[in-house]
Amino acid sequence: MRVVFGVLAILLVLLLAGWLAPELADDPGYVLIRYRGWSLEASLLVFAMLLLVGYGVIRLLMYLVRIPRRTGQWLSEQKSLNAQQSLQQGLLELSEGEWKQAERLLSDAAKRGAAAGPAYLTAARAAQAMGDVEGRDRYLTLAAQSRHSDTAVAVTRAELLMEQGDWLSAKEILKRLRRRNPRQPHVLRLLTECYRQMGRWKSVRALLPRLRKSAGLSDTEYSRLEAETSAGLMQAATNARTLERLAKRAGKSLLREREVILAYGRRALALGSGTKAERRLRDYLDKNWDQEVLELYGALPGDDPKKRLAAAEAWLQKHPEDPLLLMTLGRLCLQAKLWGKARDYLESSIGFHPYPAAYVALAELAEENGENALALLCYRNALLLERGEETEPLPHRGEPVTPPPFPAEPEADFTERRTTRGVPVPEGKA
């Protein structure tokens, strides 16, 4: 803009000079300046030229005086521009996984003053990606010294510790941050993740109400976390009473979640709590057919196996060829001492799909009936299945069972030598 004004001014002066030139040719005019004995006489044209020259000299001097300051500003702008370019390139290198190059560029950008705090924090991430823990801590310290937000530095430190698997140290940092600002959403999420990884499900449960209000979790995320927390608490239950209290607190909605009902069933089986657990697993299976839940249902102890058997046989209408259901029915018949029915179900299950557990149940039935050879064969088949090998065929009822031959012992490939007193001579000695 200044250049435009300058050009316009010159053009105006030239036009004015061209207009005045004919007039001044006839009468050049006269200018007299007197000051304390000094006088200056000149024609009007010369005086005008002197004014213009004086003005130009003054402008030149002013420009020369400003050169150092403008040079400093230009150098500062170039430094800032180079720092910004280093920062941008460092971020690109970081996103591409070039950790060493990213660390160098980000550190250089921070030293030049381009967003020093964020640059040092990002450099710390690059250092950790290379396994340089000392470098990471050094950059975090520099970020704190750059008068960057203490919260941002602490959050970054906690995130990097979590990436390293140091959940305990990260948890302590996040707890301090939460005391400062209980509603900070990101801190709440990170603290919850620490408690999850540490198995501190009671602490996770205590954070759930706050997470729902201020952490911005979607309904799906919240439901998943709530189910995982309930399952974790059930897995940690130390007695049947605590487990039932947790199941009541979870309610029907959570017990419809597969993760929760499996955790409940497994813990009930481990604690020997079968009656109430059997009812809850049966309610789940009535609405959601699941093989693992079905297997737990058949393994649970109960006071009335015939009642449980009748409930399970109702499922045969929808799943007549389900080998796991047939095995479960066989197990329930064993508990009810219905030997013939148990054998029918177990053999049918093996016919559709041989499970090692079905062979074990059939072996227990054979032992109960005194059929030791059949029991041995069934145990052998269960072991072969576990090892991924082919099983031996089961005989038809009434047929004798030939026990499988034991493998022959390998023949010794050396001749034992003894002394005259009968003491074995170690190999290699004369």
Contact 311, 279 (CB under 8 A): no
Q: Would you say residue 383 lies in a domain?
A: yes
Domain boundary (303, 322, 356) is at 303
Give the C-alpha separation, 353 to 359, whole Å: 11
Rounded mean pLDDT of 193-218?
A: 89
Q: What local confidence, expressed as pLDDT, does residue 74 receive?
A: 53
Q: What local confidence, expressed as pLDDT, does residue 292 receive?
A: 92
Q: What local confidence, expressed as pLDDT, does residue 394 receive?
A: 87
Higher pLDDT, 57 or 377: 377
Query: 222 with 299, same domain?
Result: yes
Q: What local confidence, expressed as pLDDT, does residue 18 receive?
A: 64
Share of the chain above pLDDT 70, in %: 80
Q: What local confidence, expressed as pLDDT, does residue 241 receive?
A: 92
pLDDT at 367 over 80: yes
* DSSP 8-state code for residue 239: S
What would the pLDDT profile of 370-381 be if each residue is shown by its tens digit?
Answer: 899 999 999 999
Structural element, H or E, at residue 399? none
Q: Would you say residue 27 lies in a domain?
A: no
Query: 248 with 297, same domain?
Result: yes
pLDDT at 80 over 60: no
Residue numbers of the domain that contains 257: 218-303
Q: What local confidence, expressed as pLDDT, does residue 62 receive?
A: 78
pLDDT band for position 41 (cuts 50, 70, 90) = confident
Rounded mean pLDDT of 40-64?
A: 74
Query: 274 with 347, same domain?
Result: no
Weakest-pLDDT range from 79-83, 300-304, 374-378: 79-83
Q: Would you say residue 250 lies in a domain?
A: yes
Average pLDDT score over the chain: 82
Give the C-alpha separation, 349 to 250, whole Å: 35
Q: Would you say residue 56 lies in a domain?
A: no
pLDDT band for position 118 (cuts 50, 70, 90) = confident
Structural element, H or E, at residue 100? helix 99-111
pLDDT at 245 over 80: yes
Rounded mean pLDDT of 349-374?
A: 92
Q: Would you say residue 246 lies in a domain?
A: yes
pLDDT at 410 over 70: no
- 378: CATH: 1.25.40.10
pLDDT at 16 over 70: no
Measured CA to CA in angstroms, residue 211 lies from 97, 124, 219 at distances of 33, 29, 11
* Number of domains into which the chain is organized: 2
Q: Would you say residue 337 lies in a domain?
A: yes
Weakest-pLDDT range from 49-53, 136-140, 156-160, 164-168: 49-53
Domain boundary (303, 326, 344) is at 303
Query: 318 with 384, same domain?
Result: yes
Weakest-pLDDT range from 6-10, 163-167, 410-414: 410-414
Structural element, H or E, at residue 212? helix 201-214
Query: 322 with 388, same domain?
Result: yes
pLDDT at 79 over 70: no
Give the C-alpha separation, 170 to 161, whole Å: 6
Query: 327 with 360, same domain?
Result: yes
Q: Would you say residue 140 lies in a domain?
A: no
Query: 295 with 326, same domain?
Result: no
Query: 257 with 318, same domain?
Result: no
Please name which of 359, 388, 390 lies closest in space to residue 375, comparing C-alpha atoms: 359
Q: Would you say residue 272 lies in a domain?
A: yes
Q: What is the pTM of this model?
A: 0.69
